[in-house]
Structure 1
Amino acid sequence: MKKNYFCENLKYIRSSLNISQKEIANHLKLNPSSYSNYENGRREPGIDALIKISDFLNVEIDMLLTKNLSNNPNFLKDIQNKVSNDINYDEKIKDINLDMCKNILFELENKKRKCLSLINYEIPKKIKEIDNLIKYINLYNDQDVEISEEISSDIINFKPKEKNIEYRSINLIGKVSAGNPCYAFEEILDSFNIPSNLLCPSKDYFILKVKGDSMNKIYSPGELILIESTTLVDNNDIIIAIIDEEATCKKVHFYPNEIALIPQSSNPLHKVQTYKLIDVHISGKVLGKLFDYIKNE
């Protein structure tokens, strides 16, 4: 009767490849305690588990059960790369899925803010405009108006020319820290009209109020700043960054695996903050002081 070498072979292969019991159990979608029992000989695997292990190690079931593989060191070379690559691939897939979930969550938050903007500001504003127009029309209808045909054709010559400027209403949506990150903005506090010719018609914008002094060489505490909503920024741009649902205003510099948020302050207490790329979401690029845009109208 042939000896069953299964538990010895399994332990030999795993330990030789420097793979933990938890790693191989997770990859095979087996309970870690069940896998441990297989190696210790306290339990024999069922046919389904045996097929999974055989496929993963690329070793025939008969060899796992009846051959003493520890006497054949060259055998490991045939499976080492396959097993290591499979496990590393699983870890990469987990990281990719985590990134996708974070991106989807952030897009949903953006849509939520836009919907709140419509509900809290844009729709009530339009209703108010319609109400004012109705009042004006009713007032006009209540008056006795006499028009002289003699002068009506020339009255346009006496009407003062109006300055033909179009505006965009941009929302002030809270405060942003110019020190450590503060809670990310979402509440609409006010709105400002900015000449449309100073803005790109295909881009979105918002306004924030600076808090703190870590950017006081450029923006004073309490100053309003105009931001272009974008994730496309370059080194040395002033950006709005979100870390763990909190927002901050900083100068940015990118490294291969990290992002540095750099204060522009006369206060030496403020230091450069460095994060992993995956931990920072860029919400916008600061264009400048709101006052500089309003005064150009």
Structure 2
Amino acid sequence: MKYFADNLKFLRRQNNFSQEQLAKHLGLNRGNIASYEKMTAEPKIENLLKICKFFNVEVSEFLEKDLQNIAIIQEEMEKVNSESNPTNLGEGEATEHFIEELEDNKKRLERFIGQSDDMQKILEGFRQFHKFKMSNNPIITEDVKKMSDEYEKLLELMDALLSSNKELIHWLKDS
């Protein structure tokens, strides 16, 4: 139900329905629609199916995808396609050009994934080297201890950046 409320509100507004109008079309009352959109209630399965059928959206998409974001991306793609398709390009040529762009973007994503994996390995190497040096140093002064603490903070920051990087990769793969 991750995106249900936002998707319901988005589709209702996109189709210029008030909560009352949508409820009437679905055989529900306005309060049902309002509570679904506010996430104070979840629809019964039969109501969920009615809503999905009414908007012609698969249940899995309704629940697991941000339909507003998908609509924005589709609009942008249409705009790019119309701007990048001079009148002398036929529909087949425009499609071929778009497919080439998608393939280029896929290659960029694969390089990005490879770089991310390499950064993860390098970070792990730094971490292991630091542990080795600290465990094999018989005398750890206060200055060395402070530097070690700062180095560990830097490693934690790198972990956080790599985690964000992996989330971005996951999002790009799902797009």
Note whether the superposition's TM-score is higher than 0.5: no
TM superposition score normalised by structure 1: 0.24
Between Structure 1 and Structure 2, the one with more helix by share is 2
Between Structure 1 and Structure 2, the one with more strand by share is 1
Highest relative contact order (Cα 8 Å, sep 6+), 1 or 2?
Answer: 2
Which protein shows a greater Rg?
Answer: 1
